[in-house]
A = this chain, B = another copy of it.
Amino acid sequence: MTDARRTALAFAEAQRARFLTEYQDFLRIPSISTDPAHATDIQAAAAWVANHLRTIGISHVEIIPTTRHPVVFGEWSGAGPAARTVLIYGHYDVQPADPLDLWTSDPFTPTLVGDYVHARGASDMKGQVTAVLNGIESALHAGGLPVNLKFLIEGEEEIGSPSMADFISNHRDLLASDFSLNADAGGLVEGIPAIGYALRGLTYYDLTVYGPERDLHSGGYGGVIHNPAQVLCDLVAGMHDASGRVTLPGFYDRVRPLSEEERAELARLPFGDEHFRQQAGVAELWGEAGFSAVERIGARPTLEVNGLLSGFTDEGSKTVLPAKAMAKISMRLVPDQDPREVRSQFLSYLAAHAPATVRWEAKELNAASAVITERSTAEVQALQAALQTVWGVAPVFTRGGGSVPIVADLKQILGIDSVLTGFSQPGDRIHSPNERQHLPNWSRGTDAIIHFLYNLLQ
Task: Give the residue among A223, A238, A366 with the most B Cβ atoms within 10 A.
Answer: A223
Of B288, B296, B308, B357, the contact of A308 (CB 8 Å cutoff): B308
Are B227 and A304 within 8 A (Cβ)? yes
Are A222 and B322 closer than 8 Å at their CB atoms? no
Residues 366-378 of chain A, each 1 if its beta carbon lies under 8 Å from chain B, else 0: 1000000000000
A325: nearest chain-B partner, CB-CB: B308
CB contacts (< 8 Å) of A216 on chain B: these are: 280
Given contacts A221-B276, A302-B223, A319-B306, contact A313 B328 (CB under 8 A): yes
Interface code A303-334, partner B: CB below 8 Å = 1, 0 otherwise?
Answer: 11111111111001111111001111010100
Nearest opposing residue in chain B for A310, CB measure? B308
Pair A326/B302 contact, Cβ less than 8 Å: no
Q: Judge whether B305 and A233 touch: CB under 8 Å.
A: yes
CA distance A202 to B240 in the complex (A): 33
Decide yes or no whether A236 CB sits under 8 A from chain B: yes
**A313 in contact with B317 given A297-B223, A332-B222 (CB within 8 Å):** no
State whether the Cβ of A454 lies closer than 8 Å to any Cβ in chain B.
Answer: no
Of the candidates B226, B227, B238, B308, which one forms a contact with A229 in the assembled complex, judged by CB atoms under 8 Å apart?
B308
Instruction: A325 to B237: give the CA distance in the assembly, Å.
Output: 14
Task: State in angstroms the CA–CA spacing of A322 and B305 once bound together.
Answer: 8
B321 contacts A227, C-beta separation under 8 Å:
no
Point out the residues of chain B lying under 8 angstroms from A403, CB to CB: 219, 319
The chain B residue with its CB closest to the CB of A246 is: B223
A-B contact pairs, 22 of them (CB 8 A): A218-B302, A218-B402, A219-B400, A219-B401, A221-B279, A222-B332, A224-B276, A224-B297, A225-B282, A226-B282, A229-B307, A229-B308, A233-B236, A282-B357, A304-B321, A305-B310, A306-B317, A307-B318, A308-B311, A308-B313, A317-B328, A319-B402
